[in-house]
């Protein structure tokens, strides 16, 4: 969930898709009826902090 950038209320994910295995694009709609703004976000993995032993190179 991402807060609305206009009114700071909560918003709903309308749809989302992966652009790459590490990056997701999501479309949101504000839940505040008086605002109802729509916006999109890009969410990406900032850093992998640990990974299973079996996959370590």
Give the binding site for Zn ion (CB under 5 A).
Answer: 4, 6-7, 30, 32, 35, 37
Is the Cβ of residue 33 or residue 46 nearer to Zn ion in the bound state? 33
CB-neighbour burial class of residue 41 (10 A; exposed 0-12, middle 13-18, buried 19+) = middle
d(CA 25, CA 32): 22
d(CA 39, CA 29): 7
In whole angstroms, the minimum distance from the beta carbon of 53 to Zn ion comes to 45
In whole angstroms, the minimum distance from the beta carbon of 3 to Zn ion comes to 8
In whole angstroms, the minimum distance from the beta carbon of 36 to Zn ion comes to 7
């Amino acid at each position: 969930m991402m807060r609305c950038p206009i009114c700071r209320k909560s918003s709903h994910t309308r749809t989302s898709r992966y652009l790459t295995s590490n990056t997701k694009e999501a479309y949101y709609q504000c839940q505040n009826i008086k605002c109802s703004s729509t916006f999109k976000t890009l969410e990406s993995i900032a850093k992998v902090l640990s990974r299973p032993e079996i996959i370590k190179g």
